[in-house]
Structure formats: C-alpha cells, structure tokens
Structure 1
Amino acid sequence: MIANSIVRWAAIAALSFSLAACKSSEERAQEHYESGVALLEGGETEKALVEFRNVFNLDPLHREARTTYARIVRDQGNTREAFGQYLRLIEQYPEDVEGRIALSEMAFLTGNWDEFDRHSEKVQELAGDDPRVKAIATTARFRQAAIAKDRPTMQAAVSDAAALAEDLPDNPLLRRVLIEGYLRDQKFADALAQLDLAIEGEGDKKVFHLQKLAVLTQLADFPAVETQLRTMIDIFPEDEALKRQLIRFYMARQEPEKVEDFLRTIADPTAEDPAYYLMLVQFLRQQSGSDAALAEITRSLESGADPVLMRSLRAGIQFEQGKRDVAIAELEDILATAEPEQDLSRVRVALARMLISMGNEVGARRLVEEVLAEFPNQTEALKMQAAWQIDADQTDQAISTLRTVLDNSPEDVGAMTLMAQAYTRAGNQDLARDFLSLAVEQSGNAPEESIRYARGLIREESYLPAESTLISSLRANPNNVSVLNELGRLYLAMDDISRAQQIVDTLRRVGTEQAQGNARTLEVQLLAKQEGPDSALEYLSELAQEDGNSAAKIAVVRALLSAGKVEDALASAESALAEDPENPSLRFMLYATQAAAGDIPSAIEGYKQLVKEDPARDRVWIALARAYAATEQTELSNKAISDGIAANPASPNLLWAKATILERSGDIDGAIAVYEDMYAENSNSPVIANNLASLLSNHRDDPESLERAYNAAKRLRNTTVPPFQDTFGWILFKRGEFEEALTYLEPAAKALSTDPIVQYHLAKTYQALENTESAKAAFEAVLEATGELDTRPEIEEARQFLRDAE
C-alpha cells in the first residue's frame, strides 16, 4: 500500500510540473501582475513592486504592469525612476495618453523643457479634449508667452488656468501657472491663496514657502513674515540661512528681546559647531555690553561647556575691551596647558588675529603655518593665508587656497568674498562678480554681501540687476538703513526721482539717527536733481538752523563755494563759527573758505593753529601745504607735508602728497618707495596699485620691476578708466603683447589727448607693430601736447622719429 501511494503522489507531482511547464511566459507574467495588484490593494506596496518587476522579466511589454509600476514610484517621489518607466511605456505604446500626460507633468516640474515640449505637443494631438491635457496646453502657452514677454497672452493663459482649476484643483501645473501669473500681476491676495493650497499639498517644496515669504514681505505684513519664517525653520531645520534671516528680521524690526529669545533656543555651547552660541555672545556684547557677554560665558563654564572654547571667547572680548595683554596671556596659557591630543587650531587662529591687529604679522603667520602643518584644511587659517596671498598679488595661490576652503566648506560666505577679491585682483571681473553673487545667495541676501555685489554692478552701470539685488536684500531685511541708503543712491544715479523720494520717506519713518542723516543727504541730492542747486541750498540752510547741526552748516558753505558765491560762503562760515567758536570742524571750514576767497595768509595762520592743537589732523596739514604752494612757498609746503607725516606716519593722504612731491622733483625711486609702503598698507586700492605700477613701468626696465608692475596692475584688465588703461597698456607693451596693448592705449590716448606721455605710449606701440603712419600721427600728437623747451627723453625721441620720417 505504501509503495502504491508513493507512486501515486509521484505521478501527481509529475503531472503538476508538466502543466506548469505548459504555461507561457505571458501567462506567468499575468499571474505575477494579478498577485501584485492584490498585494497593492492589501497595502503591501514594496512586495507589489517586486511582483511587477517579475512581470517585466517575463513580459517586458506588459502595459498594465508598466503603467501601475510607474504610477507607484512616481507617487513615492522617485521621479527619476518614474520618468524612465513612463519613457519605456511610450516607446512600446506611443499612443499611451496616460504616459504622455505623466511625462509632460514631470518634465515641467523638473524644468526639462525639451522633454516637456516633446510630450506636451504629442499628447495634445492624442487627447486634446482631456481636461488634464488642456491643463498641459495652457501651461505650455503660458511658458512660451513668458519667454516672449507677451503679457496679454500670459494673462489669458492665467484666466484659462483658473477656469480649469475648478475641475482640477490639485493639478500641479495649473497651480504653478496661477502662482506665477498672480505674482507677475501683483495680485498678491490671489497668489497667497494659491501658495497656501500648494503648501498644503506639497509642503516639502521650499520654493512655495519662499514665494509666500516674499509676498508677505512685499505686503509689509511683518507679523505674518515672522510666522512664516518660524514655520519654515520648523519644516527645514537644516537650513541655517533661514535662522540667520529671522535674526536679521528681528534686528531690522528693532526687537532685540526676540533675537535673544530665539538665539537661546538654538544656541548650544556644547554643540560640535557652537556657531549660534558664539552669535549669542556677540549679540549680548553689542546689545548689553561686554560685561553681559562675559557673564554668559561664565555661566557656560559653570554648566560644563568646553573650557578651551569659553576661555578663548572670553579672551576675545577682553581683547576688544582693550585688555590686550590679558587676552593674549589667556590664549597663550591655553596653548601651554592643554592636553597634547586637543585640537587647538581655533585658539591659534584667534591668537593670530590678535597679533595681526597689534602689528605682529610675523607672529601671526607663524601660528597660521603651525595650524596648517597639522590641519591642512583648517578653514579659518586657510582664509587668513589666502588674504595674505591676495595682498601679495599671489592671486593664483590665493584662488587655489580658497578652492580648498570651499571644497571643505561650500557654504562659507567669507571664502566666497575672498575669492571675489582674488579674481578682481587677477583682472577676471566676470568670475569675481559670480562669487559675489554666490555670497549674496548663500548669506540669504544679507545686507553687507548684497551691498558689496550691488556696488560692483553699479560701477558697471548694470543698474537693474543692482536694484534687484538690493530689493531682495530689503525684503529679507526690512528697513535695513544701509540697504535703503544704497538703494536711494542707485535711484538717484538712475534719475528715478519718485522711487528715490520713496526711499527718503522710508528712512524718515525708520527714524534712527543714521536713517535721518541718510534721508537728509539723499534729500539734498534729490532737490539738486529735481529743482536745481538753489533749492538744495535752501534746504541745507534750513537744516543748518537746527541746533548743533554743524554738518549741515559745512554743507551750506561747500554748496555756496561750488556755486561760486565766495562772499556768501565766507559770511556763512563766519556766522556758523560765531555760534560755536571752539568747533574745530567749523574753524577748518572758515580757514578753507578764506583760502578760497584769496585771504591765504589768514588761512595759513588758522591751519597752523589747528595742527598745533592737534597734530593728528592730516587733512589740515595737506590744506596748509596747499596754501603755502599757492603762494609759491615751496619749501614751506614740502615741510608741512614732512611735519604732517612725522605726526601721522601712516596717513595715506600725506604719504600720497609726499610721493607726488618726490615724483615732481625727479626722485622716482623715493616716490616708488613711498607707494610701496602705501601698497603694503592698502593693496586693495586700485589707485595706489595704478600709481605704483605706472612708476615702475615708466622708469624701470629690469624684469623684476616689470613683473612687480604687472602683478599690481592685473586688476586693471578690462578697465575703462583712461589713466588705468594707459598704465596697463604700457605694461603689456613692455611685455611684448603689442596687439592687446593697443586695445588699452588707443582709448587712453583719445581720452587724455593733452598728456604727451600717454600719446608717446601709443606711438611706441604703433611703431612696434610697424604701423608707421599711425606711429607718425601719434608722435606728432606728442609734440602738440608739449612745448619746445620740454627735453624729456620721450619728447626728444618723438622729435627724432619725425626728423627721420621726413
């Protein structure tokens, strides 16, 4: 019996296997598909996806499985895989409407415009009456109209989108069209309604939150702005820019108590990166004084915070209080007593910064080198090294150093700003502009970064991008006085009187002393543009009547002098000083007015008395030197400059005057030495760089001097300032780059037609290019710009060339 049973079961098994083997791959694929559907209905999505993948292994053309699988992964947010699955579907079934709709929507939402155009056009051919296809068509029409700046067509598309949205309230394409359209037409209430719906359905999309924040800021609904910022911080806790933006918002609203409350919620002295705790301490120092900040540090030390960090922080505050020796001793003690395995790189960098401010750059460099030897990627040390490299015109090395910083800390705004400085110094303005723009973006439109970028754009007369930058910063930092002032100056440059007046009105509403001062200055300039100098002068006179407003009184005198009303200026200066006879600024104003009126002896006596009382007044020393020079007392003029420098050895104004005197007297080496000292103190000044490079290239021919001149002048590449063009063009000539030199020297010679040396530079370039006729004309221009008694070598060479040519 047992043997028979075994035989019977073996036969049944064999029969089952043979039946299974008879099933086609399509039939087995269908079974997997049906199993997947059942699993999906039971809520077991991942198992269902496995079954659908089994379907594809058996039957790659299974349409329902492909459609269902693509829909599931799209719903899961896996757009990339969903897009690929739908592409596979329409390759197999080109007329599949669902696939084309899905591809059109995903392509639009990801900005894949080629794919959007391809699929949206095809689906309109296949099912133009489908409401979802109408939504796609409306979106395509709106997009094309936006590209073409066709406002009527855009508005018509928005109306169609609103009508379609009644039946398709959750359609993502219609929602985006409505939001963009309403924002363009400044229908802010409608835009907010759509943004709220978008956030409700797609709350993880930061763009909707940012758009809502921008609308609320535009509407000046500041309580709602605060709520929105806090909501965004809750949803996107890793976005540090939002936290900084909320802090700036509170500061702009003059709500320091809210700043402190918020900082205390996010500041942790024990965190791996205690940036917000450092911000809290700095805030307390600014708002409540150093003692409040030191008390906070003491509490942190008592609660178990890192003693090295807290002691370093305390030393920094003591240094700012003027207790420099105490602060340095504190840091040196930390370095001497710390455990060998401790990372003390931050302490060394902090000490290096202190040493720099005390003039000990050698000690600071040694510390930074020690840090980088142990920690080659220490961000702050690398930034200090890069700053030194920029100052030394080692721009290639600085750029390489800063790339290392940004590789390790891609959000470092300070490194981006330094990178912009390096590219500016290297003469690559395009890349410098790009990094300034990145710094603005990364800082969350912070005022300092925005103003820096805007000023660069304004110098290039790119007014509209500058305006956009400043407005974005103002939205993020409502009523920021610095941004408002910069925007007001921009509108004056654009001759946009109405918006300049709006800025003046806003500054007055802000009401702080700085805001009121900026408003007055802009108002004067506005009146001068709008109604002429007399109206501006009248307004200044009214301001001058205010008690203690010496700045307005000085401005009145300057305005009268500019208008040629010397006697009125003198009377006004005397009247102002009579009201406040001990005011040094008003006394200086009177003496300067006396000099302008021709009473130079009285001016000289006044200047002498001022510098006797306070030798640190470098501007007075220069005025005294000019007064002596005006009466041909050259020795006394030179002595005034020398005495001024003895009292103010680092004064750039006096050093500049000394360099000019040395150059005029023929002491070129002495002038170069002065400019070298000035350049070492302020290598960011393009004027100092130009003057140093000009003297080096005009008066020295050794390779080292020429390379020094080129490195200092690289920032002048693409300049449109004629003296800078002449300097850089002549350096290129001496480097043998004649064709490029010509692109600078021709416009320089045209603009500086009365300068014989500039004409000589152009003539020599033509001569090097064997353009004899142009060289002859340029050498003739050299002689036309000078007299017969001029025996400078360049002039004699011009005469000889023309004699030879004849």
Structure 2
Amino acid sequence: MKSRFPAIAMVLVSAVAAVALTGCGGAQERKARYVEKGESFFTEQNYEKAGVEFRNALQIDPKDADVRYHVGRVAEKLNNPRDAVGQYQAAIELDPKHMRARAALGRLFLMGGLADKALEIAEPGLVDDPQNAALLTVRGAARSQMGNTEAAFEDAELAVQRAPDDEYAVALLASLYRQSARSDRAIEVVRAGIERAPESVDLRVVLAELELNQDHPAKAETELREVIRLQPKELNHRYRLGRFYLLTKNPAGAEETLREAIKVVPENIDAKVALADLIVGQRGLDAGIAELAAIAKAEPDNAKLQMALGMFLESRGRADESAAVYQAIIKTEKTQPEGLVARTRLAGLLLKKNDVAGANKLVDEVLKENARDNDALVLRGNMALTRGDAAAAITDLRAVLRDQPNSVSVARALARAHLQNDEIALAEETLRSAAQANPTDRQVRLELAQLLAQTGKAEQARPILEQLSTEGAGEVGVLEALFRVQASMKDISAARTTAQSIQRLRPELPLGAYLEGAVNESEKKFDAAIALYEAALKVQPDAGEPLAGIVRIEVQRKRLPQALARLDQAIAANPDNVVARNLKGEVLTAQGQIAAATATFQAAIDRAPQWWMLYRGLALAHLAGKNTDAAISALELGMQKTNGAASLGTELAALYERLGRPDDAIRTYDKMLAQDPASVAVANNLAMLLVSYRSDQPSLDRAQQLTGKLSHVTAPAVLNTRGWVKFKRGEYQESLNLLQQAVAQSPESPVMRYHLGMAQLRTGNRDAARENLEVALNSGGKFVGSEEARLALEELKRAG
C-alpha cells in the first residue's frame, strides 16, 4: 500500500492536469469558433450577429486585444462610436502594437475633427512600424486638417505605395489632389485603386463625386449604379443615387429610384418616408402627405408605419392630424410598445399647446407600464426643465443616459439641466464626454463651444468653432457662434470677416448683414451700421433685430422722431408687424407720450394676444403715466391671455410688493403655484414673501414646506431663501451654513449679506455680523429689512 500511493497520486495529478489542459484548449477553441463566425457575419454585413459572436469570444478572454478590435469594428458599423472608441482604446492598452486598432481609433478622431488626438494615436505606432499604410493615412489626414498639405501628401503617397488597395489611403490621396485643383489626377488615383479593389463601395462613391464635380454626370451615374449592384439592400446607396438625380435636375429618376428601393426592401419604413419627403419637395406638402397616407392605409396593421405617418405629419406642422394618428395608435395598440410611443409623441404635442396636465397624464401612463421608458423620461425631464425644476430633470436624464450612453440629444439636455442648476462644471463635463464619445457629432461640439463662450471661456471655445467652420459648408449656427466669440474677445476685425462670410455664403438670410451692422454699431459707425441693418431688412422685412438696431441707434443719437418714422414705415409695410409696434410703444413711453404708447401696445395685443412682452410694455407705459391700477390690469389680463406667463406673474408680484401690497403678491404666486406646482422659482419667491411679511406660525410652516422641496437646488437665491426661512423659524445655527453658501456664490448681494449678518449675530459671531451688515448697508441698494439691518448695526457699534 505504501509503495502504490505515490503512483496513484501521480495518476490523479496527471488526470487533473489533463482535464485542466483540455478545459483551456476547449475555451480557446470556442473563442476561435466565435471569432470565425463573427468574421463571417461581418463579411455578410450582418453586424448584429457578428457583434454577438465577438462578444461571446470576449467573455472567454477579455484580454484579447484582437477580439476587442473586432468588437470595436462592429460598434462602428452599428453607429455606436462611443463603444467603438472604448474598445479600440482597450485593444491598444492591451497591445500597444495593435496597429489596426490604432488606425481605426485615429480615423474616428479624424471624423470628429480631432486631428491632434489622431496624431497622438498614430505617431507612436509609426515609431514601431514607420511604413504602416493605415497609420500613414491617419497621420496624413491629420496633417491635412492642420493645414500641412505638403507633409500630408508625403504620407498619403507613401501609404498608397505600400498598400495600393487600401481604400482609406487612396481616398486621402485623391482628396489631396482635388484640394490642389488636380481633379484629373484624383480620378486617376481612385480608378487605379478600384482596379485593385473592384468591389470597393467607398472608392466608387468617391469616384462618383469626383466625376460629378468634373461635370461628368454619366460616369458618376455609372459608379452609383455599380455601388447599388454590389450592395443592393443598402438603402443609403439608393438615397445617394436619388440625390444625384435631383442635383442633375431629374426628379423623375429620383422618384423612380426610391420606389425601386421600396420594392427591394418593402419592410423598410425609412424608404417610404423618404419618398414622401421627395414628393413634398417636388409637388408640395399635400401631395407628399397623400403619398405616405396611401402607403399607410394599405398596411393598417403596421403600427410602426402608422407611427411614421404621425411623425411625418408632426414634422410638417400638421399637429392636429398627427395627434389624430397617435390617438388611433393608442386605441389599437393600447399598452403595446407602439401605443406607449404614441402616448409620448402625443404628450409632446400637448405640451406645445401648454396643456401640461394632459401631457403629464400621458407620460405617467407610459411610465406606469415601463418605468424606464427613455422617451417618456426625456420628455418628463424636459418638462421639468421648462418649469425650472432642474434637479428633477437631472434625475430623469441621468437614468436615460445610463441606458443610452451614446445619446447626444440626452447629453445635451442633461448639460442644460446642470446649467440651469448652476452646475456649470458638470454641464461642461457632460458635453465634453459626449463630444469625445461621439467625435463625428458636430452639434455636440457646437454646444460645448457655446457653453464655454457663455461661461467666460471664449479662448477655449474659439478653436473648436474655427475647426467646425472649416469642416462645414457655410453652417450659419457655427459661424454665428464664432462671430459672437470673436466679438466678446474684442477681435473686431475677425468678427467683421466672419459676418461677411455669412453674407457671402447665405445671402438669402439677413443675419450676415445684421452682424456686420452690429460691428459697426460697436465702433460707433452709426451710418454704416444703419445701412447694413437696412440691407438685412431688405432680405427679411419683418426681422426684429435689425429694426431694433436702427431704433437703438436713433434713440442713442437722441433722434426719436426719426426712430418713430422708421417704425411707422415698417408698420405701414406690414400692419401685423407686432415687433415694430412693440418697439414703437417703447419709444413713445420713453418720450412720455403715454396715451399714444398705450394705444400702440393695445393695437399690437389685438394682433398677437399671446405674446407676453406686449402686456409688459403696456404695463410699463401705464406706470410711466402713474396709473398703477391700469398697469395691474394689463399684467393680470396678460396672465389670463398667455395661459399664465411666468414673466408676467413675476412682474405683477414685484409691482404689488413695491406698492406695499405683499398679500396681493402672495396671492399672485399662489395662483402661479397652483398652475405649475413644480416651479422652483415660484416656490422660492413665495416662501421668501411669506417670511418677509408674515410672522404667524401657519405662514412660517408653509414657507418651510415650500423650501423643503428645494433641498436639491444649489442656486444662491434658493440657498438664501432656505436659510432665511430657517432663521425666521428660530433655527439660527441651521440657517448659518445655507446663508454662508449663498453669500459665497453672490458676495455682491446686499440682501444676502444682511441675512447672513443677522444669522451671525444670533449665533454669537458679532465681528462677522458687523462686517456683513456694513457691506449690505454701504451698497446703497434698498432692500426688504434694510431698517432692521441699520438698527442691528447701530446696536453692535454701541456695544463696541
């Protein structure tokens, strides 16, 4: 027995080792099979199935850089750039010499206009492999974006020599030749590439574009049709051919192409909508709607198609018709997925009509069925933003972003919510993350630049906008944002150049002339400014900004009769120009012509009874005439006609407070809160009124209840109100921290300094209390409680 034990042990050990080796080999074999199947599906363009196989392989070996690269390729094909970037970066971290991952990641950065990041990725790879064609192409494209054309040519030519069938290298070299006005050579390069890669769809698309630019439409059409032959079910190719026919003034060919697309892929709804869009452009809106309605009528049980019809009608301004379609879908689909989508779409329509209650009811129905319905959460978040409840919006939008981390629209909404909640750093971080994850999305980069500009970081915003302006072909939004950044940086010469660029690129818009006029106005070149403002008005006679610019200059010159004459001219040209009437009312008020001013505002109200600014102007005119009762009536009527415009309610409450009628101000906010119970601003202002003018316990309790719902809000005005409510309730120590936070954010506010000083006085910090009370009173501003502040300061001084 003793002699047999080691032998038995060795047998057992060998058996265990064999099992372990078999298991390891089995796992590697399974991984290899998954990868092989994934590559097969990828070749067949079945990217969803390819992704499943590659991820199965990744579960077996998460440290396989090559599998990470394959998962990234699938993500890229499925239009998920954020995941693609992450997978490529992971592949490079696992294997810094994985050149395919480096090239793929570099190309994504280039598509997003991030040439510097593309270089950071490509150049370390080129140190190890100096003649890698894919990395040379990335570096060449980056150099081209950065204006180094000569070096870009060197990289592109070497890349094509090393890999003459590389689509990216060939396309880059052709692009460089085209930019150098050598389109014939560009065509030669692409044709040579196609000879080596005859099934290259991308190169044929490039060639078609080159031929069209050279005025060779027949050759371009041949290439586009060959692309369709190679990938007959890829609808983007058919759409491209349709656009070609439109460019060559052959709308019948475009329509035939889209009808053929519907036959080839009958289940695809996008093709049917594209056909309707085309018909709208050629034969008018009614014809396009009739076409899509007929298609939908032929498939009454296709809820997705019915939804497409509703959304088409909605996008074309036919709100009532689209609402009827959504209601029909809700009736048939009930709580099935399309029924829930229809509820969310209908809620959005109701919200545009200010039917907040109806919209909330529909959203609640959706979320009752599916608490994680992203569309409903986004809508509820946007509703919260509209009413000023940024914290509630942040909660909903964060939940959606967890499910849809690549959603730029959600990221943008979340950034707006952070901004509304005074969380500027978080807003910037959200947009930066979205821009890095979606480098090809120009809109998110634009919004990031706009945020940077708004928060005093113009020097960071400017290069982003300059890059966007070089990428786009006359995008007005980008150029306007660039103008405003240049103007804020006092670079008047650059701002003028940008304004002139807008005029050249989009002469049918008044914006360019208006912006150049604003440059002249800033330099006090008033005659030149007025000439440009008039040029803008020739393009769009009812444009408000240039007309306001003319009036502003005339008022500044103290030429009120000329300002009124110009406004009368605009009104005579279009009696319904309420912007001109509003401006005229303001000028007449400034002149002291109260009767004429009120008559002007009233005439404008008759034409636009839902525009809240007219009621405000009318009220200010009455106040200038010392008729406070008429001013109050104007504001109250405005609230009634505009469905409770918050701006008018705030104006009315402030007027009541100035008149020494705090109970009426409280009553006004009570009405506003009943209409919009979730409004942060209304709850905050009402709470402050309650503790400023009442001392009874029910009022103090109600103020506490109101501010208790605002604990998530970090805006200084809300922190101040919460702290003052606690102070008035005798909770002095608790109030101190809140008031210190408020003053830290708004040190210039006398009322906040007064509140903090009183809290410090009650908690025994007399020196700090004296300092804050002195700052509050020395500000020169009058505020509620200034007399109490004066008495408290005098007492402190007497006490030494």
Distance 1:597 1:295 in 2: 55
Q: Aligned runs of 1:154-553 on 2, under 5 Å?
A: 169-170=131-132, 180=142, 183-187=145-149, 190-191=152-153, 194=156, 197=159, 201=163, 227=209, 274=269, 289-298=284-293, 300-301=295-296, 307-317=302-312, 327-337=322-332, 344-358=339-353, 360-388=355-383, 399=394, 401-440=396-435, 448-474=443-469, 477-513=472-508, 515=509, 517-530=510-523, 532-533=525-526, 535-537=528-530, 539-540=532-533, 552-553=546-547
Distance 1:705 1:268 in 2: 61
Cα distance change, pair 544–765 in 1 and its aligned pair in 2 (3 A)? same
Distance 1:413 1:192 in 2: 37
SS at match of 1:632: coil
Q: Aligned runs of 1:756-795 on 2, under 5 Å?
A: 756-767=750-761, 770-784=764-778, 794-795=788-789
Indicate conservation of the 8 Å contact 1:560/1:566, yes or no.
yes
Task: Look up the match of 1:557.
Answer: 551
Indicate conservation of the 8 Å contact 2:616/2:634, yes or no.
yes
Indicate conservation of the 8 Å contact 1:560/1:569, yes or no.
yes
Report the CA distance between 1:253 and its aligned residue: 10
Distance 1:341 1:269 in 2: 29
Cα distance change, pair 727–287 in 1 and its aligned pair in 2 (3 A)? farther
Task: Look up the match of 2:51.
Answer: none
Cα distance change, pair 370–665 in 1 and its aligned pair in 2 (3 A)? same
CA offset digits 1:135-169 (Å, max 9, x no partner): xxxxxxxxxxx99x9xxxx9xx99xx99x99xx64
Indicate conservation of the 8 Å contact 1:728/1:744, yes or no.
no
Distance 2:182 2:767 in 1: 66
Report the CA distance between 1:383 and its aligned residue: 2.5
Task: Look up the match of 1:11.
Answer: none
Task: Look up the match of 1:14.
Answer: none
Distance 2:469 2:67 in 1: 41
CA offset digits 1:254-301 (Å, max 9, x no partner): 999799899889889978885676566567657865434333424544
Cα distance change, pair 280–676 in 1 and its aligned pair in 2 (3 A)? farther
CA offset digits 1:526-584 (Å, max 9, x no partner): 22344644542454467678995785455322212134444554565567667778865
Gaps of 5+ in 1: 1-45, 48-77, 84-106, 117-145, 718-722
Task: Look up the match of 2:107.
Answer: none
Distance 1:404 1:178 in 2: 41
Distance 2:537 2:333 in 1: 61
Distance 2:66 2:307 in 1: 52
Distance 2:724 2:468 in 1: 41
Task: Look up the match of 1:623.
Answer: 617
Cα distance change, pair 387–730 in 1 and its aligned pair in 2 (3 A)? same
Report the residue type matching 1:748 in the other structure: S
Report the CA distance between 1:629 and its aligned residue: 1.6
Indicate conservation of the 8 Å contact 2:418/2:426, yes or no.
yes
Cα distance change, pair 472–293 in 1 and its aligned pair in 2 (3 A)? farther
CA-based RMSD: 5.9
Cα distance change, pair 454–398 in 1 and its aligned pair in 2 (3 A)? same
Indicate conservation of the 8 Å contact 1:328/1:354, yes or no.
yes
CA offset digits 1:3-31 (Å, max 9, x no partner): xxxxxxxxxxxxxxxxxxxxxxxxxxxxx
Task: Look up the match of 1:704.
Answer: 705
Task: Look up the match of 1:659.
Answer: 653
SS at match of 2:709: helix
Indicate conservation of the 8 Å contact 1:253/1:479, yes or no.
no
SS at match of 2:746: helix
Report the CA distance between 1:490 and its aligned residue: 2.0
Between the aligned residues of both structures, percent identity stands at 20
CA offset digits 1:660-698 (Å, max 9, x no partner): 222323454653564576689899999778756765776
SS at match of 2:473: coil
CA offset digits 1:35-84 (Å, max 9, x no partner): xxxxxxxxxxx99xxxxxxxxxxxxxxxxxxxxxxxxxxxxxx984899x
Indicate the larger mover: 289-298 or 693-702: 693-702
Indicate conservation of the 8 Å contact 2:431/2:448, yes or no.
yes
CA offset digits 1:685-723 (Å, max 9, x no partner): 997787567657766564312223444x43x37xxxxx7
Indicate conservation of the 8 Å contact 1:780/1:802, yes or no.
no
Indicate conservation of the 8 Å contact 2:653/2:669, yes or no.
yes
Distance 1:680 1:259 in 2: 55
CA offset digits 1:437-490 (Å, max 9, x no partner): 444566665565444333211111222442344345445542122222222222
Distance 2:660 2:263 in 1: 63
Task: Look up the match of 2:194.
Answer: none
Cα distance change, pair 317–583 in 1 and its aligned pair in 2 (3 A)? closer
Tell me the TM-score normalised to structure 2 length: 0.63
Alignment equivalent of 2:743, drawn from 726, 742, 745: 745
Cα distance change, pair 364–172 in 1 and its aligned pair in 2 (3 A)? closer
Report the residue type matching 1:489 in the other structure: R
SS at match of 1:491: helix
Indicate conservation of the 8 Å contact 1:192/1:215, yes or no.
no
Task: Look up the match of 2:734.
Answer: 736
Report the CA distance between 1:634 and its aligned residue: 2.0
Report the residue type matching 2:149 in the other structure: K
Cα distance change, pair 412–666 in 1 and its aligned pair in 2 (3 A)? same
SS at match of 1:495: coil
Gaps of 5+ in 2: 1-31, 34-62, 69-87, 98-115, 187-204, 213-222, 694-699
Report the residue type matching 1:522 in the other structure: L
SS at match of 2:406: coil
Indicate the larger mover: 628-637 or 186-195: 186-195
Distance 1:528 1:113 in 2: 59
Indicate conservation of the 8 Å contact 2:140/2:151, yes or no.
no
Report the residue type matching 1:795 in the other structure: A
Report the CA distance between 1:653 and its aligned residue: 4.1
Indicate conservation of the 8 Å contact 2:367/2:376, yes or no.
yes
Distance 1:412 1:342 in 2: 20
Alignment equivalent of 2:630, drawn from 633, 636, 655: 636
Indicate the larger mover: 191-200 or 614-623: 191-200
Report the CA distance between 1:523 and its aligned residue: 0.6
SS at match of 2:456: coil
Cα distance change, pair 305–270 in 1 and its aligned pair in 2 (3 A)? farther
CA offset digits 1:301-327 (Å, max 9, x no partner): 477696222233334455677876665
Report the CA distance between 1:503 and its aligned residue: 2.2
CA offset digits 1:385-427 (Å, max 9, x no partner): 4445556777666555445534443333333233334444554
Tell me the TM-score normalised to structure 1 length: 0.62
Cα distance change, pair 762–179 in 1 and its aligned pair in 2 (3 A)? same
SS at match of 1:478: coil
SS at match of 1:736: helix
Cα distance change, pair 565–518 in 1 and its aligned pair in 2 (3 A)? same
